[in-house]
Structure 1
Amino acid sequence: MNAVDNVVFLIEEEPTEEQMVGTELVDGQPGLLGLHEGTALTDRDDGWSGALPDTIFIFRGTMSRLCESREELTEEIAVTVTYEIAHRFGIDDDRLHDLGWA
């Protein structure tokens, strides 16, 4: 099984208000770089066969405000995508921080 089977990757300008629930603003702007919406693979059972795809969002506006160069943007996109895929595998923020991904 491919680790990202049944996942949709979307680039959005900004997160919605609903996506921002529980997150912080940075200088009055959304600080959310990416988001995994779905159920972690570790929380699924056999009944998930044929389920709608999870979605990983990357937020262009937040990235653009954070990064000062194309190289920095490229690196941040790679880190954010990795981070969100990790959430798909049930790895939480604390563990990602422990592993040096934040």
Structure 2
Amino acid sequence: MPFTMDDDAFEDAVTRALDEIPERLRDVMDNVVVFIENRYEPGPGEDPDTVLLGLYDGVPLTERGMDWGEVPMPDRIFIYQEPILQMCDSEEEVVDEVTITVVHEVAHHFGIDDETLHKLGWG
């Protein structure tokens, strides 16, 4: 049975996970916006059964060149509440999974791919 948690408590878990990111990394993330959504909605042509816990939408820092705009649109990180709650049985599990998901998506912002994350124990 999925764990139930109100929206404020879930948002607090995301905020705490973001606060755990070292300050020197947070300082270079000033053009990143984090959103909490209920669930990922697959687009046309995507598998309708796709379930994501989080998603990074942007251009990783490692792929930005000298021609990168002065004021680019912010990168976006989405954290999907429903699938995280569905896989957890306790508040502690939710907090742990939120932290893993936030770290995973922030790592993508820094150009770290899934394979490297798995090797580092984050996947």
Which structure 1 segments of 5+ residues have no match?
A: none
Could you list the structure 1 runs, at least 4 aligned residues long, displaced by more than 3 angstroms after superposition: 19-22
**Identity fraction in percent:** 41
- Which residue pairs with 2:98 in the alignment? 77
Secondary structure in structure 2 of the residue aligned to 1:80: helix
Residue 100 (structure 1) aligns with: 121
Contact 1:20–1:32 (CA under 8 A) maintained in structure 2: no
> Given the two structures, how large is their TM-score scaled by the length of structure 1?
0.85
* Distance (Å, rounded) in 2 between the aligned partners of 1:20 and 1:68: 33
RMSD of the alignment, in Å?
2.2
SS class of match (2:118): helix
Larger gyration radius, structure 1 or structure 2: 2
- Report the equivalent of 2:20: none
Q: Is 1:34 equivalent to 2:59 in the alignment?
A: no
CA shift, 1:45, in A, is 1.4
Number of residue pairs the alignment of both structures matches:
97
Structure-to-structure mapping, 1:20-59, within 5 angstroms: 21=46, 25=49, 30-48=50-68, 49-59=70-80
- Report the CA distance shift for 1:97/1:80 in structure 2 as closer, same or farther (over 3 A): same
Asked if the contact 2:56–2:76 (Cα under 8 Å) also holds between the matched residues in 1, the reply is yes
Q: Which residue is equivalent to 2:5?
A: none
Q: Distance in 2 between matches of 1:16 and 1:64?
A: 17
Q: Which residue of 1 aligns with 2:17?
A: none
